[in-house]
Structure 1
Amino acid sequence: MTLLDDDATGSQEYRSGFVCVVGRPNAGKSTLTNALVGEKVAITSSRPQTTRHAIRGIVHRSDGQLVLVDTPGLHRPRTLLGQRLNDLVRATWAEVDVVGLCIPADEKIGPGDRFIAAEIAEIPKTPKVAIVTKTDLVNDNQLAEQLMAVAELGVEQGIEWAEIVPVAAATGQQLDLLTGLLLAKMPPGPPLYPEGELTDEPEETLVAELVREAALEGVRDELPHSIAVVVEEMIPREDRPEDRPLLDVHVNIFVERDSQKSIVIGRKGARLREVGTKARQQIERLLGTPIFLDLHVKVSKDWQRDPKKLGRLGF
C-alpha cells in the first residue's frame, strides 16, 4: 500500500475511516454509496431488501479516504436469512467511525425510520449523521418540513445528530459537502486502500450481485427475497487470441419454488435471456473484458429458512 507523502496531502492532516450507511429498505443507501464512490459497487432496485452484503465502497480525496459500508436495510425478520442480515448490520455498526442514517425526503418518517433510529441510539460515542436523501423529488417547503422532522426524530430518540445533510444522489447535489463533513469526523491516519481501488468486494460477489439486480427487475413482489445468486466459476476461454479474450462466467440463480423458477425463466426463456443481456453488459463494464454468461435457474426449497442451505449460498 502506498502512503501519500507530505506534498500530496499539503498541510492538511490526512484522515481515513469507515462510515456505515444505514436506513430502512429503499431509503436510497445503495444509490448514495454508488454516487459517492463514482462507480457502481452496490446494486440498486425499487424492491426492498435488495442489499444482502455489507458492500464496501471507497471514496478517494486528496485530504483523506472514506470507506462506505452499505448494509442491508434493518427490518423485523421473518426468516433465518432476515435474522442473519440484521446480525450483519449490527456487527458492522460496532466497527465504524460514523453511522449515517438515510431518510428519504419524499416520504414521511415512519415506524421503520423510528425503529432504526432507536437501534443506532444504543451505539455509544459513535457520531451519527442524518442524511436526507432524494431531495430532488421534493420542493423547498417539503424539504424544510422533512429536515425539521429529522431533527425532532433525534430529540425523540435521544440522538444528538452530528450533522443533518440533505442530498440528491441522482443529481449529485451536496455530495461533495457530505463527503467533506464525513471526512472531518474520521481519525487522522494513512489511506486504508490503494489509490484507484473502489471496493474490496471479490469480483465473484459483484458479478453475482449484478445478475441478481437484473433478475429483480420487473418481477412480482414476493420474488426478490427468494432469489439468491452464486457464481460457480469464471474461467478464460482457451485458444482465444490475446487481442480477443473471452471469459466464461457460469452462474446459478436459486429460487425456492418451481413457480418462481417459471417466473425467472419466462415464456420460452424470454425473461432469462433479458436478464442475461442486462447483466452481461454490466459485468463486462465491471471486468473490462468480453464475457460469455451462462445462467441456470435452480430450485432450493425454503433456502431462506435452512441453515445448511444458507451457508452454501454464502449467508
Structure 2
Amino acid sequence: MTDSAAVDTRCGVVAIVGRPNVGKSTLMNHLIGQKISITSRKPQTTRHRIHGILSRDEYQIVLADTPGIHRGEDRALNRAMNQAAVRALEDVDAICFMVDALKWTEADEHVLKLLRRVTTTPVVLVVNKVDSLEDKERLLPHLAFLGQQFDFAEVVPVSALGGHNLTALEGVLAKFLPPGPFWFDEEQITDRSLRFMAAEIVREKVVRQLGQELPHQVAVEVELWEDGPRHTTISAAILVERRGQKKILIGVGGDRIKRIGTEARHDIEQLIDRKVMLNLWVKIRSGWSDDERALRSLGYDERD
C-alpha cells in the first residue's frame, strides 16, 4: 500500500461476474494489459477470486475476477466456486455483469437473480464479443431487451479478446470509484503470490491440453520454490482423483506431461523474469474435489 494520500485520487473494487465461459478472465487480462487470470475454452476454468490491479495517474481499479456462477453445487468444489463468486459482490464499488452478444440464457438469468439482491451497488452491463456479430443491426434491439431486465447503471458493448471499447469501459468504471489513496503500489498488478500464479499457469496448460479428456477434478499444488543464483527451481504436483486420469495426463512415454511442463515453464519465466527449472509429477488424491478439508488446504476457502 502506498503512503500517498492524495485527495485527487480514487480507488475501489469492481467485481466481474457472469455465467461460466463468458469472457471474464479475458476481460480482466486485457484491462490490466498482462495475464493475471488463466483462460481456456472450457467453462469454469477460473476457480478462485483473483484481484487484478489497474493503476492510472488519477485512479486505481482493483478488479475481482470470479469463477462463473452456475447452478450445479453437487460437489464441494462447485460450492466453493459459487461462494467465491457471490462473496465478490460484498463491499465492492461497482459490478461488471458480463453477457455474450445476442445471447440471454437461463444461466444469465440465474446470475441476474443474485444481482437483484444487490440494491445499492451500481451494475454495469458488459456485452461481450460484439466484434463477432455479422449483422450489427441486431445489437441495438438486443441491448434494449437487456436494459429492460434490470436497472443497469451503464451498458457497454465490448470485445474483451479484441480490445474493442475497453478504454470506454475503464472510464465508466472509474466513475464509481470513491475518493481515496491507492491501496497498492502502482507497479503491482495482482494481490496473489507468485506460487499461486505458477500453480494456475500449470493448471491452465493441463486444461488446454486435456480439456475434453479430463473433468474438472484436477488441481495443482506447488510443493517447492527455491530461488538460486541462476534460476528458480519449482516442483509442483498435479492432483487427480483416479488412476486412469493419471495415465491420460502423463501420456504415452510421458509426452503430454512434458508438453505441459514446457509450456508452463515458458509462461512462468515470463511472469518472474528469470530462468525456471520446473519439475512436475502427477499424484492421485481420491475425492479431493468433494472434500472440504482438502479444498481448504488447496486454497479454496475464501472466508478469510
- Relative to the length of structure 1, the TM-score reads 0.90
Counterpart position of 1:157: none
* SS class of match (1:132): strand
* SS class of match (1:115): helix
The Cα shift of 1:79 comes to: 0.5
| Conservation of the 8 A alpha-carbon contact between 2:209 and 2:260 | no
Counterpart position of 2:183: 192
Residue 266 to residue 103, structure 1, CA distance change in 2 (3 Å): same
Is residue 2:4 matched to residue 1:19? Answer: no
Letter of the 1:268 counterpart: G
| Conservation of the 8 A alpha-carbon contact between 1:231 and 1:249 | yes
Match for 1:109 among 86, 101, 104?
104
The Cα offsets for residues 160-188 of structure 1, whole Å up to 9 and x where unpaired, read as: 10000011122221111111110101111
In structure 2, what is the Cα distance between the partners aligned to 1:183 and 1:299?
46
Alignment map for 1:230-245 (pairs within 5 Å): 230-237=221-228, 240=229, 245=230
What are structure 1's unaligned runs of at least 5 residues?
155-159
In structure 1, what is the Cα distance between the partners aligned to 2:287 and 2:5?
54
In structure 2, what is the Cα distance between the partners aligned to 1:161 and 1:273?
47
Residue 181 to residue 264, structure 1, CA distance change in 2 (3 Å): same
Is residue 2:277 matched to residue 1:292? Answer: yes
Counterpart position of 1:80: 76
Match for 1:138 among 130, 133, 137?
133
In structure 1, what is the Cα distance between the partners aligned to 2:5 and 2:11?
15
Alignment map for 1:1-315 (pairs within 5 Å): 1-4=1-4, 13-76=8-71, 77-105=73-101, 108-139=103-134, 140-154=136-150, 160-221=151-212, 223-237=214-228, 240=229, 245-315=230-300
The Cα shift of 1:294 comes to: 0.2
Residue 220 to residue 20, structure 1, CA distance change in 2 (3 Å): closer
Q: Give aligned-pair identity as a percent.
A: 38
- Relative to the length of structure 2, the TM-score reads 0.94
| Conservation of the 8 A alpha-carbon contact between 1:50 and 1:224 | no
The Cα offsets for residues 49-75 of structure 1, whole Å up to 9 and x where unpaired, read as: 111111100111122110000011111
Letter of the 1:110 counterpart: T
* SS class of match (1:248): strand
What are structure 2's unaligned runs of at least 5 residues?
none
The Cα shift of 1:225 comes to: 1.1
In structure 1, what is the Cα distance between the partners aligned to 2:10 and 2:207?
38
In structure 2, what is the Cα distance between the partners aligned to 1:142 and 1:230?
46
In structure 1, what is the Cα distance between the partners aligned to 2:143 and 2:36?
28
The Cα offsets for residues 249-286 of structure 1, whole Å up to 9 and x where unpaired, read as: 00000011111111111111111111011111110000
The Cα shift of 1:145 comes to: 3.9
The Cα shift of 1:307 comes to: 2.1
* SS class of match (2:80): helix
The Cα shift of 1:220 comes to: 4.5
The Cα offsets for residues 270-309 of structure 1, whole Å up to 9 and x where unpaired, read as: 1111101111111000001100000011111121111222
The Cα shift of 1:5 comes to: 7.7
In structure 2, what is the Cα distance between the partners aligned to 1:25 and 1:87?
14
In structure 1, what is the Cα distance between the partners aligned to 2:211 and 2:61?
36
* SS class of match (2:26): helix
Letter of the 2:204 counterpart: E
| Conservation of the 8 A alpha-carbon contact between 1:58 and 1:197 | yes
In structure 2, what is the Cα distance between the partners aligned to 1:220 and 1:62?
40
Residue 295 to residue 145, structure 1, CA distance change in 2 (3 Å): farther
In structure 2, what is the Cα distance between the partners aligned to 1:39 and 1:175?
14
* SS class of match (1:58): strand
The Cα shift of 1:94 comes to: 1.0
The Cα shift of 1:138 comes to: 1.2
Letter of the 1:95 counterpart: D
| Conservation of the 8 A alpha-carbon contact between 1:18 and 1:66 | yes
Letter of the 2:2 counterpart: T
Larger RCO: 1 or 2 (CA < 8 Å, sep 6+):
2
Letter of the 2:268 counterpart: I
In structure 2, what is the Cα distance between the partners aligned to 1:212 and 1:45?
10
The Cα shift of 1:199 comes to: 0.5
The Cα offsets for residues 191-211 of structure 1, whole Å up to 9 and x where unpaired, read as: 111111101101111000000
